[in-house]
Each structure stands twice: as C-alpha cells, then as structure tokens.
A = this chain, B = another copy of it.
C-alpha cells in the first residue's frame, strides 16, 4: 500500500499526503491519470480540490464526478512561498526566479520591489527548486515551499513572498472503498438538475428542512446540454440516518446523484 500524489518530492501535495496517511510510503506521480490508476489498484491518492485564492481545481472535480474513487479524508494546507537557491547564492545577485505561473502571480509585490528580477515559468514549484539547485547558476532562484527547499538542499533567501497570507489549499485523500466513520463529518455530493427556476431551491430544501447546512456549493454548466447543470456540494452532518433520509428525498429531484464520500 502507498499513497500516490501528483507532483515531485517536496510538493505541497506530498506534505498533504504525509498528514493524511503518515504511515504509508508516498509515491510521486506525473499525471492525474497515474493517481487514479493507483487508486483503482487499491492504493490511496491525494489530490488538491480547491485553493482559497486560485479557486476550485476543476480538472480534479470533474474526474471525481466520474471516477470510482471515494473521498475518505481531507486536510487544508497553508501555502507559503519562499525564495530558494543553491547554498552560497546572494539575493542581490539574483536575476531570474522560476516557479509555477500561479505561484509567480501570487508574489507580485516581490517582483514589483525587484525590477531587476525576471519571473520565469516552470512546471511546478518543487521542480523549479530542484532544477535551480541542480543547475547551480549564481543568478537564479526559485519560488516554492520550505519543505521543497529542505528536500532539495536549497537555502531560503526570503520567506512569505505571497501577497496574500490567506492562501490555503484543500487536499482530499481518495481510496477505492469508503472508510466508515462516525461523528461530525462532511459528505461530498455531485448531482444534476434541470435548468428550471426553483429546481435548486427544492433540492437544497431537503437539507435545510433537516437542519443540515452546506459548506460548499458550485454549479458547473454541462456543455452540449444547455438546459442542465451539475452541482458539487458539501454537506455537514453527524447522523448517517438523517443524511440518508435527505439523500433519498433528493435523488428523485435530480438528473442523477452521486455521493463521493462521507469523511
């Protein structure tokens, strides 16, 4: 058994995997497909589902809606960006800084304050750190996590470069089979509704009538089906029987309902 995540060692996803499944070996994967293949074989997978600044990870949400994977746990990681370089590098000499475009865009103030530095896109943050350290050029650095810096032997030239400290990513632990739990939990649902006034209010009333509240809702237009929408919703609950009742009432109102997990 192992826990697969998308990215390279030192990635934020690896940190999430360590928190969510501390006893399992962690397996870095290049592609989303590789993570779902691992889950289908009976391993665990860790994937990001939303970032407080960059929004939902729609590719992951879309795959979850159709894959045979269950959400069994979640965690939120604070995302903080450090400027990392090879030991011996001086900040004053840096001219090029590599990172993922979303990370670069989250550090605009740093680049405004350092007009002598050019931002250069990279495939991911931890990989940018590994590459910069491997090349060893005295005028290069990368933006990524303290974890990736430590993992690849980099020194931290500056910390908390992000413009907005309220930067969190929520990661899900996925498995082929649900993992029974009790007590206060969340259920993640995907359901389709006809595009008709009142359809959403009727659907959500099955929860509010029972005192259950949503912690997330998102509509996704279904292309090619202009009169149908799919909804991704998270519901807080603690009594399985009460949630079962609500779902039994919801199902006939929808064009299809899937429970992605209770966790």
Chain A residues within 8 Å of B, Cβ to Cβ = 31, 33, 51-59, 61-62, 100-101, 104-105, 108, 119-124, 166, 168, 195-201, 204-205, 207-208, 211-219, 221, 223-224
Contacts and interface: CB of A to CB of B under 8 A. Distances in A.
A168 B223 contact: yes
Contact of A200 (B62, B199, B214): B214
Contact of A58 (B55, B108, B204): B55
Contacts of A51: 58
B53 A62 contact: yes
Given A122-B121, A166-B223, A223-B166, A217 B200 contact: yes
A249 B168 CA distance: 34
Given A53-B62, A101-B100, A197-B207, A219 B218 contact: yes
Given A201-B201, A204-B200, A223 B52 contact: yes
Contacts of A221: 52, 215-216
A57 B102 CA distance: 11
Contacts of A57: 55
B54 A59 contact: yes
Contact of A211 (B59, B168, B197, B199): B197
Contacts of A200: 204, 208, 214, 217
Contacts of A120: 123
5 contacts: A51-B58, A59-B105, A166-B224, A197-B207, A201-B208
